[in-house]
A and B are shown apart, each in its own frame.
Chain A
Amino acid sequence: KRLELDPRLAAYQGIWVFVEMERGRVHPVSWELLGEGRKLADILGVELAAVVLGGSEEAVEAASAEAFTYGADLAHVVADPVLTEYRNEPYTKAMTDLVNRHQPEILLLGATTLGRDLAGSVATTLQTGLTADCTELAIDPDNRGLLATRPTFGGSLLCTIQTLNYRPQMATVRPRVMAMPEADPVRVGRIVREAFDLSEESIIAKVLEFIPDEAQEQAQLAYADIIVAGGRGLGKAENFQLIWDLAAVLGAEVGGSRPVTHAGWISADRQVGQSGKTVRPKLYIAAGISGAIQHRVGMEASDVIIAINNDPNAPIFEFATYGLVGDALRILPALTEAFRSRLAVNRLAS
């Protein structure tokens, strides 16, 4: 079954990870991808490169230095004021130019709004395959090709997709799906400065304004360490206060299942699951949530999951760490009190 690669394709070598930087801040999904990319590069015996596009020398150098600590051997960098804010046109041009110049075999991007916008444009421009929202990346021992696995039909099945006769093989991965690698602070790499020639006058799209989420109280669920989430089992909107109360005591973010965001009990940006956020907190408390597959795929990577449900056969008990079988409307206030007093006692003791 071993496949001999066309020499034109075999010329493509090395693994690239797009380091997503906006306004000088790198999206952590980039480090998660470098962690995965490192494993793939070691299997293939090739180099792992970060691609860093940004508006200034300082910004791309800082991001590259950090990329090295997460496993990159080198960084291809473009620093140009036209890349300060994300716009499709200059980013697509920068990325496709680099790929054509250096010919990597695999190119990974985060499945963020930015990453999806860019990945779809780059893959079409390069006329190659792109696998979306992968949950697992591996190498086919037969042909050294990428095996990109992604959920289908809302997570009830998985499928493995290959890009056999096209290069680079492209894939996106959602934030929090892969574990954050340990940074090695002394690890270094080489910076390759890349030429890029695109004037601001030639770019049609202009960013008139950026309104940051902090100004709009958007929830920051994806990277929260502790999440308390409620589902339809809470019965009505007012009962969601019990979730907020527990979250306040724990310093947690508040999330929910799709029915409760659809009903407007909480805002849409707090939805956890396949069509909401993927989360990976250290502690996830789910009250009145059945554990449907579309919810499960968004939170099952949490370190510890506590499920509160009055149905002992609820699917969530199949994968939670701890289960409390009973009425969430009674257990939640009891839990809030129990945590409050325990945390207070510990604080006194220390």
Chain B
Amino acid sequence: MHIVVCIKQVPDSAQIRVHPVTNTIMRQGVPAIINPFDLFALEEALRLKDRMGGRVTVLTMGPPQAEDALRKAVSFGVDDTILLTDRAFAGADTLATSYALAQTIRKIGEEHPVDLVFTGKQTIDGDTAQVGPGIAKRLGLQLLTYVSGIDAVDLQNREITVRRRAEGGVQVIRTRLPALITMLEGTNQIRYASMDDMFRAARFEVRKWNKDMAGIEDVGKIGLKGSPTVVSKVFAPKPKAVKAQIIGSGLDSQGMAAALVDTLFAQHPRLGKELQHASH
């Protein structure tokens, strides 16, 4: 079985700050990490490989530094890595991103046919959750989003059965391979990379492809040119004019609580009725 996992290198957003005057993102010194949601996809792919054999290829599109993310993936035990990097990809929205990734996966499939593609649920920077469905549609793969568990993979009959989070419940769904899975967070925990794995990763030959090597001829479909969406404005949210009214300062906890309940029932009679209603 051949599994391709798509991962994205993202700035560790916990450490991102916005410049208070210029409203621009201060990236300097912010470490880049593998999109945390993608680790669940990677681990699930590795578990399938542990169970059934086969190979795992990890793919990322990004600037040359994204090689670090692939090296990190190697330390967890993947077999092959592809860094899709080309200036022509800059400024891609999700439609252009999914096109570039789909073309690359097609090319990877010419070396070893692909049975499953994994992506994370979403990224922590763009945060759209649109790239997975985009790749699936372009490659004609069966789309399985928000997967919380894989019940069975039957390579003989080319079938897969998964559990996926739906609105108001869990769907157990069976479909055909090849399929694309977007993995739900919290479903597993990325394995520990041993010293040996880290050494292997440090020496690993990451393959770097430009657009031509990925078989992309039409530059009208990639980068800024291939992106229907245009960011027309970036701005800071309006600060709220009114701050909290501090209740019962100087009083003890009982006094504060009593003052708050008084204020609430006096100032918000409708809410008071709701509370009365909800409380039994």
Contact = CB atoms under 8 A, between A and B. Distances in A.
A179 to B, nearest CB: 16
Interface residues of A, number: 100
A99 interface: no
Nearest to A261: B186
A330 B134 contact: no
B230 A85 contact: no
Contacts of B79: none
A163 B95 CA distance: 12
B161 A208 contact: yes
Given A208-B161, A208-B173, A132 B129 contact: yes
Nearest to A300: B240
Interface in B144-182: 145-146, 161, 164-176
Contacts of A303: 271
Interface in A67-90: 85-89
B77 interface: no
A129 B168 CA distance: 28
B169 A210 contact: yes
Contacts, number: 267
A147 B118 CA distance: 32
- Interface of A, secondary structure class, is mixed
A87 to B, nearest CB: 8
A155 B170 contact: no
Contact of B268 (A211, A215, A304): A304
A162 interface: yes
A206 B279 contact: no
A141 interface: no
Contacts of A116: 129-130, 133, 145
Contacts of A125: 137
B23 interface: yes
B16 interface: yes
A161 B230 contact: yes
Contact of B130 (A119, A162, A204, A339): A119
B229 interface: yes
Interface in A110-144: 112-114, 116-117, 119-121, 123-125, 127-133
